[in-house]
Chains A and B, each alone.
Chain A
Amino acid sequence: MKAVFLLLMALLVGPASAQGDPYQVLRSTGEGYASVVPGRVFEFPADHLPHPDYRIEWWYLTANLKDDAGRHWGLQWTLFRQAMSPATDTEGWDSNQIWMAHAAITTPDGHRHEQRFARGGVGHAEVRLENGAFAAWLDDWLLTGDGAAMLPGRLRFTVGEAVIDMQLASDTPPVLQGKSGYSQKSAQGQASYYYSQPHIAVSGSVTLDGKPTTLTGTGWLDREWSSQPLADNQQGWDWFSLHLADGHALMVYRLRHDDGKHWLSGSWVAPDGSARTLAADEIELTVLDTRRVRTPSSANPEATRDLPLAWRVSLPGLKREWTVRALIDDQWMGGRFPYWEGVVLVDEGASGVGYLELTGYGR
């Protein structure tokens, strides 16, 4: 479900953003596009490839890594696909597909990020099989599979001058989120198809200023596609993906509603990959601390925002509870469509690491 807002804002809200509520367009019915219904049977590796009949889709990778000195690093690499119209996808410049990519790296010295855009249909950005192997790219940002599956594979990209080259591998099956991959987003029936790979072994190097650093850690992949994922009264969300020290993985999120009755959901994944979906009443999220974060933009280089960067995450049914806190405050993705996404520590790192995404927080 991550970054639905971002994608739609990026791709649908052109000049309309000046005239009133930009979110309105997100709530359009998605008519003409394929719709998300329960009971779909997922097939791999075919489902790693695009589903162009649906309006939006993304490939979303985060990784929590450590260097030899035990310092925390983080990577984010995301490719978004958007269909501009319900027409059948065609090759060439007439293609109705548009691509956006975000990348970020959190180093012991700070955070840097970059965004890119591309037209579909001409090879500038694609997700497809190249010589039988999975490939997803925009310019030279490239995720390749050794075979038709995404994993094992290799992720290469740059953020500014930083050059990242990582090997990815996993020996557990994909986790189908929600009801067998049907992930409901509101009581009104908005939903997406959603699967994850929460247990990815990541290793490789980051070259910064000509100096390579070897890193290892765990990664998380989210795959999601939909045509109309949001309800009228949803303003933004808080999203956690945590790698726990005991080998479990936890994903929880809340979609914040105008009336304060937020939509909560999640999943609890065992080390062997077996998962159970968490219902709303099984999750409690409490803000522990709000921080004033610098969120500069080209329009206002001095802008700041108040963001909840410390949380208590409780699963009362499982009698588990953690404190989740941002590794550093400054992990703002200040691109054309800004949000906060960054490395978090669970119980100050003792119980695990993860990523937190916060969207929809105004200035």
Chain B
Amino acid sequence: MLSFSGVVKRYAQPEGEVTVLGGVDLSIAAGEAVALLGESGSGKSTLLHLAAGLDAPDAGRITVGGQTLAAMDDRALAALRRGTVSLVFQQFHLIGTLSVADNIRFQAALCGRLDTAFEVELIDRLGLRTQLDKYPHQLSGGQQQRVAIARALLHRPALVLADEPTGNLDERSSGAVMALFHDLVKAAGSALLMVTHSREMADYLDRRLWLRDGRLHDDAS
């Protein structure tokens, strides 16, 4: 579903150029859930951005669903993000001028894939049934994150990229949301690459990768 081969990413810093990713190879199969762990600043988010085509690598090749990102223009990348790849961030970025119901449907509406039965399932399982007519600013942080999750999954994207999706929530609710999130990703049939710094969160998933010194490692060793 997602593959990196020999991906290199460098950033210009005041102290000189820093190599964040020094030749990363990665392969995630369809429906597979992978946790990406690592220290702060190890380049986890960068890797995720590259996977979503939000940023371009300095070397190497990234493919999503068999398509090479480097070969895609802006329009094709937008199409990829609206239909194939969903992003869930620590900040929820709900659309303030739309109702909760409209926010949930937003991405599905963009790509024109609305599965009403799945929508009912998502809303019910995320406990948003009573919130549908409200506006984002009327919800709590946890509720907003649930809306963001529903929005990301409703159109059953092939790949979900999540960056600390529960980072803004307290520990207890974050555990519950995390479990639910994992279940729903499975229900949507999506592959998942999730950045986290929590081993506990990572344990929910099929596979764990560590990013250290710009390279991926299979275990904590």
Do A and B touch (CB < 8 Å)? no
